[in-house]
């Protein structure tokens, strides 16, 4: 099938990034979230990113117009009926993802491909609520989506070869590089990265070093572009807690227990950049 129209479900950090990348690549995109404020916020974030590019001389006003012209927002899942490909990027809760795909499965024609941008939940389990598990795949982007080149492609138990082929082409059209990983808790990159972020929180909690020095240490000592605590704030502490909880529950290995400081911060609503307070203050 010739993919021209893409539905993106979830207008948060990841969903708006995916919508931007798809619209930039010339696809028609419908961005859906559960209320108009969330949709407007996602579209505003994209506009803001494009304006920043323009101020650096990387885009023209015309170029921005044509990208925005490819984008449409909605709160109705039924508006995704005519999409050739639907990419879900809602919160990292399996019950919510399943509910979205139950609705999508009813709304979209049988030709539509489905992908979940999960950070590490079971693709097979989510695909199982649809009548098209063969047309379902894990498509894991990295934050910030417009910048990070990688997408992990994760086959569910029933994903067929045509879905893998179509999705690989789509990722290339988005200007990204794919790696192929087997279904496993947290796949490959997060399995390595997120326990490191969690460990940085233990180092902070145990009073071994300050947040600033932990981040400076990993930036200057390991050449990471930003330190683990600043990165955690960027990804969102709620997402990281979901991800660590999944890894721990799936493996029951105590080395993956979420840091108590992470849980405490999430309970306090200090989720990082998106709430203005995480390990650092962004107000
Ligand atoms: N959206 C769009 N573009 C962004 C952006 C955003 N949110 N944040 C930064 N950028 C762009 C900037 O505009 C800039 O573009 P330019 O090169 O054209 O000027 C470029 O990225 C570099 O940004 P800055 O100069 O402001 O700052 P840095 O040099 O520190 O780069 C960074 C920012 C690219 C975010 C860099 O710090 C980095 O690579 N950090 C690590 C990111 C990472 O590890 N991501 C993976 C997270 S894990 C994940 O997503 C998985 C999930 O499942 C949990």
Q: Say yes or no: CB of residue 192 within 6 Å of ligand 1.
A: no
Q: Say yes or no: CB of residue 20 within 6 Å of ligand 1.
A: no
What average pLDDT does the chain have? 97
Confidence of residue 1 (pLDDT cuts 50, 70, 90): confident
Q: Say yes or no: CB of residue 148 within 6 Å of ligand 1.
A: yes
- How remote is the CA of residue 234 from the centroid of ligand 1, in Å? 9
Q: Say yes or no: CB of residue 49 within 6 Å of ligand 1.
A: yes
Confidence check: pLDDT of 112 > 90: yes
What is the value of pTM for the model shown? 0.93
Confidence of residue 70 (pLDDT cuts 50, 70, 90): very high
Q: Say yes or no: CB of residue 150 within 6 Å of ligand 1.
A: no
Q: Stretch 169-194: mean pLDDT, rounded?
A: 96
Q: Say yes or no: CB of residue 57 within 6 Å of ligand 1.
A: no
- How remote is the CA of residue 145 from the centroid of ligand 1, in Å? 8
**pLDDT given at position 99:** 98
Confidence check: pLDDT of 235 > 90: yes
Over residues 144-181, the pLDDT tens digits come to: 999 999 999 999 999 999 999 999 999 999 999 999 99
**pLDDT given at position 38:** 98
Q: Stretch 130-153: mean pLDDT, rounded?
A: 97
Q: Stretch 68-92: mean pLDDT, rounded?
A: 96
Confidence of residue 35 (pLDDT cuts 50, 70, 90): very high
Q: Stretch 241-270: mean pLDDT, rounded?
A: 96
Q: What string of DSSP letters covers the chain?
A: ----EEEEE--SHHHHHHHHHHHHTT-EEEEE-SSHHHHHHHHHHHHHHHHHHHHTTS--HHHHHHHHHTEEEES-GGGGTT-SEEEE---S-HHHHHHHHHHHHHHS-TT-EEEE--SSS-HHHHHTTSS-GGGEEEEEE-SSTTT--EEEEEE-TT--HHHHHHHHHHHHHTT-EEEEE-S-TTTTHHHHHHHHHHHHHHHHHTTSS-HHHHHHHHHHHH--SS-HHHHHHHH-HHHHHHHHHHHHHHH--GGGPPPHHHHHHHHTT--BGGGTBSSSB--
Q: Is 152 marked active-site?
A: yes
- How remote is the CA of residue 144 from the centroid of ligand 1, in Å? 5
Confidence of residue 261 (pLDDT cuts 50, 70, 90): very high
Q: Say yes or no: CB of residue 190 within 6 Å of ligand 1.
A: yes
- How remote is the CA of residue 141 from the centroid of ligand 1, in Å? 13
**pLDDT given at position 120:** 86
Confidence of residue 189 (pLDDT cuts 50, 70, 90): very high
Q: Which of 49, 88, 152, 198 is catalytic?
A: 152
Q: Ligand 1 pocket: which of 50, 141, 144, 218 to mutate (most atoms <8 Å of CB)?
A: 144
Q: Say yes or no: CB of residue 239 within 6 Å of ligand 1.
A: yes
Q: Which of 70, 88, 140, 198 is catalytic?
A: 140
Kindly state the tokens that stand for 220.
Answer: 């200057």
Q: Is 281 marked active-site?
A: no
Q: Is 41 marked active-site?
A: no
Q: Which of 49, 119, 198, 232 is catalytic?
A: 119
- Ligand 1, atom 47: closest residue by C-alpha: 143
Confidence check: pLDDT of 9 > 80: yes
């Amino acid at each position: 099938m010739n993919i021209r129209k893409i539905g993106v479900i979830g207008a948060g950090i990841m969903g708006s990034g995916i919508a931007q990348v798809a619209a930039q690549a010339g696809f028609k995109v419908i961005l859906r979230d559960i209320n108009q404020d969330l949709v407007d916020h996602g579209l505003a974030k994209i506009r803001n990113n494009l304006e920043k590019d323009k101020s650096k001389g990387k885009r023209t006003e015309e170029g921005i117009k044509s990208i925005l012209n490819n984008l449409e927002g909605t709160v109705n899942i039924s508006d995704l009926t005519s999409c050739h490909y639907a990419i879900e990027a809602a919160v990292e809760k399996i019950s919510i993802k399943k509910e979205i795909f139950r609705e999508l499965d009813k709304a979209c024609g049988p030709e539509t491909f489905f992908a979940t941008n999960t950070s590490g939940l079971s693709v097979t389990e989510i695909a199982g609520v649809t009548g098209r598990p063969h047309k379902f795949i894990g498509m894991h982007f990295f934050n910030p989506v417009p910048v990070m080149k990688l997408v992990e492609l994760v086959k569910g138990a029933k994903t067929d070869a045509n879905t893998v082929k179509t999705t690989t082409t789509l990722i290339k059209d988005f200007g990204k590089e794919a790696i192929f990983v087997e279904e496993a808790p947290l796949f490959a990159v997060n399995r390595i990265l997120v326990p490191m972020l969690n460990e940085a929180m233990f180092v902070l909690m145990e009073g071994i070093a300050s947040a600033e020095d932990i981040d400076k240490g990993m930036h200057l000592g390991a050449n990471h572009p930003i330190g683990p605590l600043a990165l955690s704030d960027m990804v969102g502490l709620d997402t990281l807690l979901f991800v660590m909880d999944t890894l721990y529950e799936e493996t029951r290995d105590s080395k993956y227990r979420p840091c108590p400081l992470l849980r405490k911060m999430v309970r306090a609503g200090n989720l990082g950049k998106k709430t203005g307070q995480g390990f650092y203050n962004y107000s």
